[in-house]
Amino acid sequence: MPFITSDQVQPEYDVAIVGSGAGGGQMAYTLTQAGLKCIMLESGRSYNPDTETSMFQRPDQMPLMGISTPDKFFGFSDATVNGGWTVPGEPYTQASDKPEEQFWWWRARMMGGRTNHWGRISLRNGQYDFKPYSRDGLGFDWPLNYKDVEPYYTKVEMLIGVYGTNEGLENTPNSPKGVLLPAPKGRASELYSQKHGKKLGIPIIPIHRAVLTKTLDADKIPAKLHPKNLSAQKILAEAMRARAACFWATPCVRGCNIRANYQSTTVHLPPALATGNLDILSDAHAREILIGKDGKANGVLYINKKTRKEERVKAKAVVIAASSGETVRILLNTKNAQHPNGLANSTGLVGKYIMDTVGASVSGHVPALENLPPHNEDGAGGSHFYAPWWLYKEQLAGKLNFARGYHIEMGGSRGMPGGRNPAPSDFIKGAYGTKFKEEARRYYGSFVGYACRGEMIPNEGSFAELDPKVKDDYGVPVLKWHWKWSEHELNMALHAAKTFGALIEAMGGTVRSKQVKTGHDIIEPGGKIIHEVGGALMGADPKKSVCNSWNQTWDVKNLFLCDGTPFPSNADKNPTLTIMALAWRTGDYIVEQARKGNL
């Protein structure tokens, strides 16, 4: 009986896991395959892509032809239900009324969390990314190295399935031979960008994304991941055989009922449930962590959203993987005589140094891409190509006015048209009937877009605290956000805008975005990229950090934070793959401690 109600909760579990996304899903998989009894609490509703995802549905078959609405920002095909930057009954507040000092907080509120709608870009952090302070004297170093995480990057890639290529570029780690799945072909705009990017020294290469371009090797991979666990091998082999290769049937962000892309609900949770060692509670809004007289965590106090009653689950250890903001909120709301300022907060650092990814984008029109023969370039639901950061040497030599890098994501070509004009109105103004169709065919697919995804350096002005007055509908104090971009991020955004303009012009095109003079003109709001990390930094010194290198809080030895909260930095690589790699590493550590009787 894996999906349970509050009255079916067992007297005690080995581990309680708060959150069902990348970190929580990976943790549940790792622990249950090792035989630990776990309960997972998800604040949102239950969700099953196998039955809730409509494949083969064209935009013209969707409400409003799939375009975005206030409650569906990313369009009708986005998987998120009941979540977003605003959640009814669950507000958050801002410390400033200035837009540039406000944080957009995305909460998924559904089984699988953000893994249901994310872009599935799966990039490894490099050694520079784990030791940024040692390179430029800014921010913090991680208390571990690339070599500590590398085996777990490989395990995660083998488990979830990641396509891409090994290019051997600086601080862009290769995967072991045979781990990556074949990369899909580049789209027309991506190939044209690659050709002209070479003139500017920009290395445009296949991206790494968690989508199956061929079925996983269920005969060999399980034995490699679980060499001494025959039960886990059998369960994983069956789960892998239940996944089909992508055939470009629906947007990845909608979810995938053939399980071709990675989401926790189809890749992590089914094999975890198959062990019989996992119970899942949905609509369970974690309020605080329960602490025993011995100072250890012994469970979770949560609100049953359906009954609005307080309930408890008991466990020998607790893992919080609720996303950085929500994890901070739970820690700060856990106050008692032992922890008057919030749980694991003896340093006062809980909620501090929260980061997002730097975002900035530019679009343009490229005449060379006009009048292409009709063809379908929907592809694997997202980018096939990207450009990793390439100016490390120039940066180290002090030739740039910002300290960290960004990668370039790109869009364009002829995807399935939705509920918008096939070309901007100024291109087809006055055209009707046959003329309109001719102009649409001419221009559709001739527009390109480039987006910066850059590293933010942690700063003291970006943090979250509890609002002293405002509570959500369940009586839980909400977060108040403080936000600040430093000159490094603003200068990076301006550099990206100039780079994108130069690339568009090199392609013979013209920039269509607004004129940019400063970084403030183009940088996206904090939180807009939905990559928030930090708030409970890991470190080597318990007086200067919240967690150690095992994601284990210094103050409470059986409490682990396994989302992005412990990140001391936020590299330009998307954080999800690193969250999963660290969660698997921490899961192995928890299993070892459980066998020693230390939980």
Residue with the two structure tokens 């329960």: 290
Predicted pLDDT at 57: 82
- Report whether pLDDT(418) > 60: yes
pLDDT tens, position by position, 234-261: 999 999 999 999 998 888 888 899 999 9
The structure's pTM equals: 0.97
Predicted pLDDT at 543: 97
Q: In the chain, list all ranges with CATH 3.50.50.60.
A: 1-51+90-164+208-356+459-482+532-599
Q: Evaluate whether 451 touches 77 at the Cβ level (below 8 Å).
A: no
- Can you tell me the distance from the alpha carbon of 185 to that of 281, in angstroms, rounded to the nearest whole number? 41
Residue 454, judged by CB atoms within 10 A of its CB (0-12, 13-18, 19+), counts as buried
Average pLDDT over residues 581-591: 98
Average pLDDT over residues 293-321: 97
Predicted pLDDT at 352: 98
Predicted pLDDT at 115: 95
Please report the DSSP string for 176-239 in residue order: PTTTSBPPPPPPHHHHHHHHHHGGGT---EEPPBSB-SS---TTTHHHHHSTT-HHHHHHHHHH
Burial letters for 329-341: b for 16+ Cβ neighbours within 10 Å, e otherwise?
bbbbbbeeeebee
pLDDT band at 78 (very low <50, low <70, confident <90, very high): confident
Q: Evaluate whether 126 touches 132 at the Cβ level (below 8 Å).
A: no
Predicted pLDDT at 1: 42
Burial letters for 207-238: b for 16+ Cβ neighbours within 10 Å, e otherwise?
bbbbbbbeebebeebbeebbeebeebbebbbe
- Report whether pLDDT(518) > 90: yes
Least confident of 60-64, 143-147, 526-530: 60-64
- Can you tell me the distance from the alpha carbon of 464 to that of 342, in angstroms, rounded to the nearest whole number? 13
Residue 164, judged by CB atoms within 10 A of its CB (0-12, 13-18, 19+), counts as buried
Instruction: Return the structure tokens found at 401.
Output: 């006015």
| Residue 457 DSSP label | P
Comparing 436 with 419, which gets the higher pLDDT? 436
Alpha helices in 61-186 (DSSP H): 127-130, 132-136, 146-160
- Can you tell me the distance from the alpha carbon of 76 to that of 60, in angstroms, rounded to the nearest whole number? 11
Average pLDDT over residues 336-340: 92
Instruction: Return the structure tokens found at 383.
Output: 């980018």
Q: Which of 207, 211, 309 is CA-nearest to residue 572?
A: 207
Alpha helices in 242-367 (DSSP H): 264-267, 269-274, 324-333
Biggest CA-to-CA distance, the chain: 78
Average pLDDT over residues 342-350: 98
Q: Is the dihedral of CA 360, 401, 462, 457 positive or negative?
A: positive
pLDDT tens, position by position, 544-567: 999 999 999 999 999 999 999 999
Q: Which long-range contacts (CB under 8 A, 24 or more apart) does 236-241 make?
A: 236/33, 236/159, 236/271, 238/271, 238/274, 239/267, 239/270, 239/271, 239/274, 240/215, 240/216, 241/215
Q: Which of 160, 159, 157 is CA-nearest to residue 180?
A: 157
Predicted pLDDT at 183: 97
Instruction: Return the structure tokens found at 317.
Output: 């250890």
Q: Which of 231, 240, 296, 228 is CA-nearest to residue 268?
A: 240
Taking all residues of the chain, what is their mean pLDDT, rounded to a whole number? 95
State percent of the chain over pLDDT 70.
Answer: 100
pLDDT band at 584 (very low <50, low <70, confident <90, very high): very high
- Can you tell me the distance from the alpha carbon of 388 to that of 204, in angstroms, rounded to the nearest whole number? 7
Alpha helices in 43-103 (DSSP H): 49-52
Q: Which residues pair with 281 in a beta bridge?
A: 41
Q: Evaluate whether 185 touches 384 at the Cβ level (below 8 Å).
A: yes
Instruction: Return the structure tokens found at 189.
Output: 């705009």
Amino acid type, 9: V
For 535, other C-beta atoms within 10 Å of its C-beta total 33
CATH code reported for the domain at 1-51+90-164+208-356+459-482+532-599: 3.50.50.60
| Angle (CA) 420 422 426, round 5° | 95
